[in-house]
Structure 1
């Protein structure tokens, strides 16, 4: 069996759950199977946007991010269910538990997809046999469908898993790139969005082959260093390893909310921002991290969105500190038009125990009072280990668990309490 694995390279699978939220609801309530089903927000709060939908609904033209009213117009019999994130996280945990039966090198990417490096798992079968076994096990134990890509690196594995849905297994080798990847429009390539595709079109890059052979100076001029990275991807080059510990990496923590109605009431808007800061602060505390940049997002009644940020002099994590910066940013950049959506994000995160406060005239006195306490903590940590005791800081729980209060499909909070 070892002969079916490369001598020098890696074998990586990308497991992508098919129509995950809708599939979980069908597994929970089998009477929904075979029917057009959509998961959407609460229309009363103007969050009636399709989060995901079943393949039966897609046959009517229903798509993710489509307004609910439009989806119902296309499919009058569409069944609507609001998200049940506790249920989805439980299913996600079950899926990742199954993946870890085949390899220790499992990297969750989001609640419904992840990478698994099976290079050293040859005793469990060939790559195709392992992929088939994973797919069968997830379906039989969780009643959930998934597609799996098999490739020598993460980019190609991700690309392969998208090629056949639902319940597909696709192998994509580097030698397959000219025939399978290059003919595709560049916007279909993983990592290329509509804005990036528009910029690439200005230099004549329309297909993935155009990108693979593009002039690097031109690429860098329109996309910066990311342009060169995308060219490497188009040529099947991806040096990233499958890293199980990446679930503990956080670049930002943010919350946003769509207001019940467009409003220009400053007091109401600031109150909303303060509530968002409280949520962000809670999540920062859960992760034992602090932010060094605060960003706000303002979307007006015309759906025009602006984001503004400021670097903080000292790391911030409390609601009060976050609100101080967010309030100043909002008052400076809000033009007075009615607002539809607000967001607050803490960026450039670092662990609390790595944060060094930049003392100034105002913080020096309070910090100096705690100097004896820090000395005692230092002595205890030196004797018993740095994780033995800390001041108001919970240590990282290296066992993945689940946050029951946040919709975290687009980041890795779903793996933490």
Structure 2
């Protein structure tokens, strides 16, 4: 065993690409290097926001999720480009291909970050040497900058990779916590959002160090089981393994849209819901899954946002079924005020083959009529294989517009292995 590796325990890297979309565009077109660049939505519509931006743009105060008009005000010379997700997927796959040269234990987290367990890679050199080699190889082969955290678990590795950007490598051990992590504000801790931070402040827990020493009974009473998990993280405890197969885990599929204008026109809103339901159904179809729950998201003119969901007796996957539930939720919870954003999400997804149909007196008759067809399909599947014929499912890949797509999910990674 290499002296830099623990006898018991793990060594995990978190590789995080720096300003990924902007960096990919600069690698594709070197004339963009060193210039304030932002990747954003349609600049002609209100929904246009900054998806990511170069570090040169950040020096002017441009930030992710900032409206385009505000970004232009801060940086008049800002170069704005629409996203090209096909290009980003290609770069992402190249990055993960490099990571797998160093370990078989690679867990993609998103299009631009992943974990690598290098505990068994000691023959390649020290953890720091491997991190430097990965960073240099990604830069030389893909012309993309990255930051890497080196730690004994996933939480600390993720925390470490955020400490030095761009092109940083940070080692974070449990013995480093009192000096490096505990003095920080709780809102700086990975996994703590604004609402949770405010609750912790109200409990007189302003720093990560205070969270690490907090009373577990009080934490659980105020934050539930998540409070105990956050305390464990603050103490550097995280036993989650690096799981290459987690890329195939998915619990929900959703689509949302910001309307071109605030509106209270019911017909227009329902039509948008129907379109969103179609998109959700299409994505679920490619995953060969059904949703056990449908969730509706409403954001009003005053930016107040509510979510309402309904657990279904039988999992659904068609546009009609998803829309029927979304429409019922909308009519029940819409107060008539103008809507700014609508969203539809299929939750608690199950594999189509694993979905157990719970028949009731209303669905039994319809299902019984289709039973001979189902039996015929099953016989064909038994003889020729399940991929030969499937119920209501087409294996034809959908055509995508590379400029009008989304990567805020793991869909692209399912083809990456």
TM-score, normalised relative to structure 1: 0.94
Matching of residue 176 in structure 1 with residue 176 in structure 2: yes
1:248 corresponds in structure 2 to: 248
2:409 corresponds in structure 1 to: 411
Q: Secondary structure at the match of 2:324?
A: helix
Counterpart Cα distance in 2 of 1:103 and 1:394: 36
2:234 corresponds in structure 1 to: 234
Residues 82 and 403 of structure 2 are in contact (CA less than 8 Å); yes or no, is this contact kept in structure 1?
Answer: no
| Alpha-carbon distance, 1:370 to partner | 3.4
| Alpha-carbon distance, 1:104 to partner | 1.1
| Alpha-carbon distance, 1:406 to partner | 7.0
Counterpart Cα distance in 1 of 2:51 and 2:158: 21
Counterpart Cα distance in 2 of 1:403 and 1:245: 28
2:196 corresponds in structure 1 to: 196
> Which piece of structure 1 moves more, 364-373 or 89-98?
364-373
Residues 301 and 337 of structure 1 are in contact (CA less than 8 Å); yes or no, is this contact kept in structure 2?
Answer: yes
| Alpha-carbon distance, 1:135 to partner | 0.5
Counterpart Cα distance in 2 of 1:377 and 1:40: 46
Counterpart Cα distance in 1 of 2:170 and 2:121: 19
Counterpart Cα distance in 1 of 2:370 and 2:303: 48
1:63 corresponds in structure 2 to: 63
Q: Secondary structure at the match of 1:348?
A: strand
1:186 corresponds in structure 2 to: 186
1:75 corresponds in structure 2 to: 75
Residues 147 and 167 of structure 2 are in contact (CA less than 8 Å); yes or no, is this contact kept in structure 1?
Answer: yes
Matching of residue 331 in structure 1 with residue 331 in structure 2: yes
2:93 corresponds in structure 1 to: 93
The size of the alignment, in residue pairs, is 412
Residues 149 and 157 of structure 1 are in contact (CA less than 8 Å); yes or no, is this contact kept in structure 2?
Answer: yes
Counterpart Cα distance in 2 of 1:278 and 1:394: 15
| Alpha-carbon distance, 1:377 to partner | 5.1
Counterpart Cα distance in 1 of 2:385 and 2:7: 41
2:264 corresponds in structure 1 to: 264
Deviation string 1:28-48 (CA, Å, 9 cap, x unpaired) is 111011111111111322122
2:5 corresponds in structure 1 to: 5
Counterpart Cα distance in 1 of 2:97 and 2:404: 21
Matching of residue 276 in structure 1 with residue 282 in structure 2: no
Counterpart Cα distance in 1 of 2:230 and 2:303: 30
Residues 408 and 414 of structure 1 are in contact (CA less than 8 Å); yes or no, is this contact kept in structure 2?
Answer: no
1:114 corresponds in structure 2 to: 114
Counterpart Cα distance in 2 of 1:131 and 1:254: 35
2:208 corresponds in structure 1 to: 208
CA separation of 1:5 and 1:408: change in aligned 2, threshold 3 A: farther
2:356 corresponds in structure 1 to: 356
| Alpha-carbon distance, 1:386 to partner | 6.3
Counterpart Cα distance in 2 of 1:68 and 1:53: 11
Counterpart Cα distance in 2 of 1:128 and 1:272: 51
Residues 83 and 403 of structure 2 are in contact (CA less than 8 Å); yes or no, is this contact kept in structure 1?
Answer: no
> Which piece of structure 1 moves more, 204-213 or 4-13?
4-13
Counterpart Cα distance in 2 of 1:4 and 1:281: 50
Counterpart Cα distance in 2 of 1:150 and 1:318: 45
RMSD: 2.0
Deviation string 1:31-73 (CA, Å, 9 cap, x unpaired) is 0111111111113221221111111111111111112122112
Q: How does 1:294-305 map to 2 (within 5 A)?
A: 294-305=294-305
Residues 403 and 413 of structure 1 are in contact (CA less than 8 Å); yes or no, is this contact kept in structure 2?
Answer: no
Residues 352 and 393 of structure 1 are in contact (CA less than 8 Å); yes or no, is this contact kept in structure 2?
Answer: no
CA separation of 1:215 and 1:40: change in aligned 2, threshold 3 A: same
> Which piece of structure 1 moves more, 151-160 or 218-227?
218-227
Counterpart Cα distance in 2 of 1:79 and 1:385: 52
Counterpart Cα distance in 2 of 1:304 and 1:292: 27
| Alpha-carbon distance, 1:359 to partner | 1.0
| Alpha-carbon distance, 1:413 to partner | 1.7
1:365 corresponds in structure 2 to: 365
2:39 corresponds in structure 1 to: 39
5+ residue gaps in structure 2?
Answer: none
Residues 150 and 157 of structure 2 are in contact (CA less than 8 Å); yes or no, is this contact kept in structure 1?
Answer: yes
| Alpha-carbon distance, 1:130 to partner | 0.9
CA separation of 1:190 and 1:409: change in aligned 2, threshold 3 A: farther
Counterpart Cα distance in 2 of 1:338 and 1:11: 52
Counterpart Cα distance in 2 of 1:390 and 1:148: 44
| Alpha-carbon distance, 1:376 to partner | 4.9
Counterpart Cα distance in 1 of 2:117 and 2:286: 29
Q: How does 1:380-395 map to 2 (within 5 A)?
A: 390-393=390-393
| Alpha-carbon distance, 1:368 to partner | 1.8
CA separation of 1:215 and 1:102: change in aligned 2, threshold 3 A: same
Residues 111 and 408 of structure 1 are in contact (CA less than 8 Å); yes or no, is this contact kept in structure 2?
Answer: no
2:309 corresponds in structure 1 to: 309
Counterpart Cα distance in 2 of 1:394 and 1:218: 52
CA separation of 1:269 and 1:236: change in aligned 2, threshold 3 A: same
TM-score, normalised relative to structure 2: 0.94
